[in-house]
C-alpha cells in the first residue's frame, strides 16, 4: 500500500502545484506545456520503451485522440481548479471511472451488473452534489460547473482509449505511451504558440520551473500506480479503491485546510457519495 500512498500524494500534488502557481502569479496555462518534455525524458530513461517505427499500421485512431485529449483535458483541469477548486476537480476526475463502465454496457455488449448500476447512480448523484449548480451565473460562474463536467467526461474517454491501447498485441504498452506523449508534446507546444502569438501572452520563464516539477509528480503518479498493481497483483480492486478514495479524501483535506476552499453542505454530501460509489463498484 506504500506505492498507493505515493501515487495518491503525487496526484494531489499536481493539483496543488497548479493552484499554488496561479496564486504566485505564474502562468498556469504555460506551465502545463512543460509537463510533457519532462514526461518524455522520464519515460525514456526510467521506463525504457522499445523504439517502434511510426508506420501506418500503428493504432493512430487511438494515439492521436489521446495525444490531443491529454493536454486539452489538462487545461480543463487547470480551469476547473481555478473556478471550482481542488475538491470538486478531484471528485470529477475520480468519478470519471463510470464512463468506461457505461461505454462497455452501451457499445460493447457487456452486461451491467446491479452493483455497477447502483455505483453509477450514486456516482452521478455525487457529481451533481459536488459541482454545485447556480441558478444565475455570470461568465466566470458558468465555468464553475462547465469545467468539472468536461474533466469528468474527458478523463472517462481517456480511460477508455488507454484500456484499448493496453489490449494491443503488436506493440508494448510503454512504446504506445511514448508515442502518445510525443503527440501530446506537439499539441502542447502548438497551444503555447497560440498563447504567445495569438493571445500575446508574455513568455513566463518560471512556468518552465513549475511545469518541470508538475511533470515530475505527474509521472510519479503513473509509475507508483503501476508499481502498486505489480506489488499487489492479486488485489487489483484494493489498489483501485484505495487510490480513488485516497485522492478524493486527501484532495478534500488539502482544498479545505490548505487553500480554505468553502464547501456547502451539498458539496460535502457529494464527496461522501463519491467515496461510497467507489466502494460499491470495487468491493460489492
Which residues span the domain enclosing 77? 2-283
Give 13-17 contacts, CB < 8 A, sequence gap 24+.
13/217, 14/214, 14/217, 14/218, 14/221, 15/77, 15/81, 15/86, 15/89, 15/90, 15/251, 15/254, 16/86, 16/254, 16/258, 17/210, 17/213, 17/214, 17/217
SS3 label, residue 188? helix
Q: Which residue has better confidence, 73 or 51?
A: 73
Whether the CB-CB separation of 185 and 36 falls below 8 Å is answered with yes
Measured CA to CA, the distance from residue 251 to residue 146 in angstroms comes to 20
Which stretch of 29-43, 45-59, 116-130 has the lowest confidence by average pLDDT?
Answer: 116-130
Closest by CA position to 216, among listed 54, 36, 55, 81: 36
60-72 residue pLDDT tens: 999 999 999 999 9
Mean pLDDT of the region 133-162:
74
Confidence (pLDDT) at 8? 92
Measured CA to CA, the distance from residue 116 to residue 282 in angstroms comes to 9
Angle at 83 between CA 86 and CA 119, to 5 degrees: 50
180-222 residue pLDDT tens: 999 999 999 999 999 999 999 999 999 999 999 999 999 999 8
Cell for 276?
A: 461510497
Confidence (pLDDT) at 21? 94
Output phi, psi for 226, to 5 deg.
-65, -45
Q: How many domains does the chain have?
A: 1
Whether the CB-CB separation of 131 and 84 falls below 8 Å is answered with yes
Amino acid at each position: 500500500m506504500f506505492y498507493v500512498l505515493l501515487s495518491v500524494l503525487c496526484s494531489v500534488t499536481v493539483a496543488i502545484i497548479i493552484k499554488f502557481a496561479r496564486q504566485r502569479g505564474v502562468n498556469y496555462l504555460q506551465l502545463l506545456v512543460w509537463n510533457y518534455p519532462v514526461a518524455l525524458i522520464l519515460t525514456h530513461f526510467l521506463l525504457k520503451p522499445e523504439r517502434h517505427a511510426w508506420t501506418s499500421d500503428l493504432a493512430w485512431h487511438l494515439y492521436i485522440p489521446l495525444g490531443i485529449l491529454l493536454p486539452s483535458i489538462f487545461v480543463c483541469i487547470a480551469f476547473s481548479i481555478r473556478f471550482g477548486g481542488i475538491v470538486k476537480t478531484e471528485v470529477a476526475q475520480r468519478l470519471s471511472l463510470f464512463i468506461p463502465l457505461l461505454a462497455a454496457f452501451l457499445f460493447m455488449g457487456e452486461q451491467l451488473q446491479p452493483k455497477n448500476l447502483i455505483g453509477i447512480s450514486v456516482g452521478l448523484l455525487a457529481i451533481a452534489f459536488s459541482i454545485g449548480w447556480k441558478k444565475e451565473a455570470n461568465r466566470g460562474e458558468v465555468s464553475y460547473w462547465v469545467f468539472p463536467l468536461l474533466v469528468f467526461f474527458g478523463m472517462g474517454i481517456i480511460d477508455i482509449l488507454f484500456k484499448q491501447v493496453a489490449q494491443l498485441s503488436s506493440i508494448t504498452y510503454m512504446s504506445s505511451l511514448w508515442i502518445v506523449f510525443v503527440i501530446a508534446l506537439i499539441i502542447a507546444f502548438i497551444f503555447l504558440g497560440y498563447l504567445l502569438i495569438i493571445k500575446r501572452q508574455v513568455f513566463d520563464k518560471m512556468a518552465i520551473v513549475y511545469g518541470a516539477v508538475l511533470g515530475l509528480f505527474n509521472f510519479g503518479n503513473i509509475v507508483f500506480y503501476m508499481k502498486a498493481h505489480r506489488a499487489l497483483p492479486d488485489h487489483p480492486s484494493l489498489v483501485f479503491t484505495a487510490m480513488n478514495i485516497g485522492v478524493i479524501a486527501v484532495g478534500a483535506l488539502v482544498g479545505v485546510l490548505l487553500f480554505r476552499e468553502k464547501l456547502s453542505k451539498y458539496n460535502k454530501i457529494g464527496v461522501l457519495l463519491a467515496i461510497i460509489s467507489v466502494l460499491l463498484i470495487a468491493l460489492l
